[in-house]
Structure 1
Amino acid sequence: MELAPRSFPGPRRLLPLLALLALSVGAVIDWPMEEGKEVWDYVTVREDAHMFWWLYYATNPCKNFSELPLVMWLQGGPGGSSTGFGNFEEIGPLDSDLKPRRTTWLQAASLLFVDNPVGTGYSYVNKSGAYAKDLAAVASDMMVLLKTFFDCHKEFQTIPFYIFSESYGGKMAAGIGLELYKAIQQGTIKCNFAGVALGDSWISPIDSVLSWGPYLYSMSLLEDSGLAEVSKVAEEVLDAINSGLYKEATQLWEKAEMVIEQNTDGVNFYNILTKSAPESVLESGLEFTHSHLARLCQRHVRHLQQDTLSRLMNGPIRKKLKIIPEDHTWGGQAANVFVNMEEDFMKPVISIVDKLLAAGVNVTLYNGQLDLIVDTMGQEAWVRSLKWPELPKFNELKWKALYSDPKSLETSAFVKSHKNLAFYWILRAGHMVPSDQGDMALKMMRLVTQQE
């Protein structure tokens, strides 16, 4: 294990983010609370594979960071950047306009954003053969990063550490969580691992695909003939998965999405109350061998690095960080990350969630009511297939209503919790829960981390 190449300086502790950004873009920004410390760096997790991380220390005015948990955020895609989208579009201290976010999670936890798999965001590879191709490689790389992080930042070794995630990030979080649990048991990593939170997560792709038709039909977004078309291609996906043909299943998955778009007049897979925006070209040096991969990459990676965010990350943020290689741009290898994980897309990881539960690891699931790509019906389906002995008792429980505003009678979510499994149904939210319902997402995080 080694840190980033010698041409890179060590961990950065520079001027606070807002002050630097104000200088770099000429903006005047008022920060409503005391600014906290930041650290960022690269870790070389394998030869030719360099992973970027960015830590914000908690800035709660009433508590020291040591009294609050550490939350690592993992984005989806694969190829979506945590340091970009998760940070500036969802839970970080600033939004993409460099304005303070009222619902930043930084007020309740220190935040660790990691660009993974390698090649995502500011992370990069020197050779094409260094991309991760499956969940095992993704988890192995993250173990190297986490060991380096906790060895260098011993102040976080005893602080409760949670892995929060979204979309494909949830699939990675499950695998990473299990490997981290093993590493702690073996004594190779020292940290206070407190649980994983899987948001709108791609845990069982086939359960999502099979539920698309019924969900859209129930929401008046498909009629009878459209439902029949979607159900037919969904069964084709199921047959491919049952035959172990995962690349073919990925291709059929894209076909199913096209059938849905044609029958729904372009429904947005990330929020069914909206329509998909016209697709723009994803900048990449990658030559797509198959058109279905190009379309999938456009649909599931491009939206995580829109032009405004890309300009921010390749402009003032890059200037602030100072350690990004000159020949690498933020998001420049995202398409390659996506394509290299092609055979992993449709593989389920329900068994990994079962292992986490059996090990006593706290597992939280949360899902946006308006999400299609990972709709709640599909999530509930795979949960019912868990082999966890406590599942019957979990199923018998009635859910509890939650309110993001204690003065309002408007229900924001429902929750059901038993032992080390919890499920949050987040209302009026699509795939990106913190973006759509920031107050409820922050409340959920506080509940999961036992602050409420």
Structure 2
Amino acid sequence: MLLPFILFLIASSHSVTGQVEGDRFPQNFGYVEVRQGAHMFWWLYFTLANVEHYTERPLIVWLQGGPGGSSTAVGNFQILGPLDEDFNERNYTWVKDFNVLFVDNPVGTGFSYVEDLNLLTTTNDEIALDFLNLMRGFYEVHPEFEGVPLYIYGQSYGGKMAIDMGIRIHEAEQNGTIGSNLRGVAMGNAWISPVDATLTWGPLLLAAGLVDQTGYDNIQAAAREAERLFNEGQYWNSTAQWRQTQQAVFNATYNVDFYDILTKMPWPRPTTMDLDSYEFIRDMMIRDGSYMTSRNLASFMNDVIRPKLNISNHVVWGQQSGAVFNTLNVDFMKPVTEGIEKLLNETNIILTKYNGNLDLICSTPGQILWVDRLKWHGAENYKNAERKPIWENDRLEGYYQAYENFRFFWINVAGHSVPRDNPAGTRAFLRDMTTFG
């Protein structure tokens, strides 16, 4: 197995050197200046697979949600990286089978930063263009990955961002301006059609016995108002009303966990003692399923990880994440279903939708609504395709339905972060898309 530790090289305004358990887990990391004054951080782990050269295995990009959630923190240390936050090895890490690239995205998230807050992105397409430039800079540092199959996996808002990223990467490949080889895009518990997701919170909670009729009515009234505002083009106000809908859920359920409805949560919410409801909800979204508070996660990344990576003290992990979320308030409730249709109708890129059945924020019923409305050449054949069981080690881990390059995976006993909650079920959709896992 040829896996030398590669010293950091960088094509950017500044560089960092260091490692986190690099003797056990070969890695590389650095910055790309995607626009003047806008710096994006990436962190690559080379695969541990028993191969002669790591480029024999695909490159997977992992994107966290929020917006403002950090892939290098949550995705890496709490979901699928090689080490957890206590630096214990994770036996189901994706690094065993793939090269995994964690990206702090959009710019301003995690260790990524802007020199002026006016440089933050305001739309999904702006995020995609920054990502395209990030990948161009990455391939300058690692040209050996050009032509290697590339897969983008996005969780929550990361799944929404991944769609426009897929479009922009594909266009650049067609134009010959990037050497990538995009084969697939995966949307994990993704914020694809926010209105659909929000309208299904009440029915899901009522069916699960977590609200009574009065609670359901209050939630649905708030959700329908968010829908009305969106339909009238009042996008900022729709986002504000969406937050009110979340508050109605908290009030009716006495603090249900939006990322796993079976999790027992404390009441009253201790984290709200010094936060208003907007800040609490923003913090929850930015954590994107992390079980650590924003303060604890920030301490871990700034006090433990940053020194190990020798990142400059002027870069404070997470300092601009709240501003990232705020800046995207107008775009927040907008769907990306037209982008999905474009990829299905105009490319051969595999699109995978997977969802944990215990998630509320991006509920499975809400995903089914927009999937059933997709307009693409295989829509009717997909709807008529057989829904099949997923068996792993003689255990039923979920179900899947597929036609041509679109597939949907229902994953059992999993919440918002499926790779962490159900690694066995995760292997099914990884194998389906990449043939590995």
Q: What's the TM-score, normalizing by structure 2?
A: 0.92
**Structure 1 residue 110 and structure 2 residue 95: aligned?**
no
| Distance verdict in 2 for CA 1:134–1:89, change over 3 Å | same
What amino acid sits opposite 1:156 in the alignment? F
The answer as to whether partners of 2:272 and 2:280 remain within 8 angstroms in 1 is: no
Q: Which residue of 2 aligns with 1:389?
A: 377
Q: Is the 8 A contact 1:96 1:309 kept in 2?
A: no
Who is 1:218 aligned against? Answer: 207
The root-mean-square deviation of aligned C-alpha atoms, in Å, is 2.0
Distance, in Å, in 1 between the alignment partners of 2:265 and 2:238 is 23
Instruction: Spell out the pairing of 1:128-207 with structure 2 (5 A cutoff).
Output: 128-207=117-196
Is 1:312 the counterpart of 2:300? The answer is yes
SS across alignment from 1:344 = coil
Task: Report the equivalent of 2:331.
Answer: 344
Q: CA offset at residue 294 of structure 1?
A: 2.0
Q: CA deviation at 1:155?
A: 1.0
How far residue 55 of structure 1 moved from its aligned partner, in angstroms, is 0.7
1:41 is matched by which residue type in structure 2? G
- 1: CA distance, partners of 2:115 / 2:251: 40
Mapped contact 1:92–1:101 kept (Cα < 8 A): yes
* Aligned residues of 1:3 and 1:42 also touching (Cα < 8 A): yes
- Please point out which of 334, 338, 342 is paired with 1:355: 342
Structure 1, 113-122 or 271-280: larger mean CA deviation: 271-280
Deviation at 1:282, TM superposition (A): 11
Matches within 5 A, 1:221-260: 221-260=210-249
Which whole-Å deviations, capped at 9, do the CAs of 1:179-203 have from their partners, x for residues lacking one? 1111111111111110100000000
Please name the residue that 2:4 is paired with. none
In the superposition, relative to structure 1, how do residues 355 and 292 fare at CA in structure 2: closer, same or farther (>3 Å)? Answer: farther
User: Relative to 1, partners in 2 of residues 1:398 and 1:63: Cα closer, same or farther, differing over 3 Å?
Assistant: farther
2:271 alignment partner, one of 271, 280, 283: 280
- The separation in 2 between residues aligned to 1:132 and 1:375, in whole angstroms, is 27
The 5 Å alignment of 1:77-88 reads 77-88=66-77
Give the drift of 1:332.
1.4
Distance 2:367 2:133 in 1: 31
* Structure 2 Cα separation of the partners of residues 133 and 160 of structure 1: 30
Structure 1 runs (4+) deviating above 6 angstroms are none
| Matching residue's letter, 2:72 | T
Unaligned runs of 5+ in 1: 21-34
Change (3 A) 1:282 1:126: farther
Distance 1:36 1:68 in 2: 16
Letter matched to residue 398 of structure 1 = E
Q: Secondary structure at the match of 1:301?
A: helix
Q: How has the CA–CA distance of structure 1 residues 62 and 282 changed in structure 2, closer, same or farther, with 3 Å as cutoff?
A: farther
CA contact (8 A) 1:279 1:298 kept: no
| Change beyond 3 A, Cα 1:279–1:244 | farther
CA distance in 2, matches of 1:234, 1:191: 41
Aligned residue number for residue 18 of structure 1: 21
Code of the aligned partner of 1:434:
P
Aligned mates of 1:195, 1:282 — CA distance in 2 = 43
Identity of aligned residues (%): 37
CA separation in 1, counterparts of 2:61 and 2:429? 15
Paired residue type of 2:369: A
- Give the aligned partner of residue 327 of structure 1: 314
2:361 alignment partner in structure 1? 373
How many corresponding residue pairs?
Answer: 422
For the 8 Å contact 2:68–2:108, the answer to whether it is kept is: yes
- Secondary structure of 1:411's aligned partner: strand
Match of 1:29 in 2: none
Residue in 2 aligned with 1:444? 429
Distance across 2 between alignment mates of 1:64 and 1:36 = 15
Distance in 2 (alpha carbons) for counterparts of 1:426 and 1:63: 34
Deviations 1:333-390, CA, capped at 9 Å, x for gaps: 1111111111111011110111111122210000000000000000000001100120
| Alpha-carbon separation, structure 1, partners of 2:303 and 2:407 | 40
- 1:78-102 Cα distance to aligned partner (Å, 9 max, x none): 0100011000001100011110000
Secondary structure of the corresponding residue to residue 100 of structure 1: coil
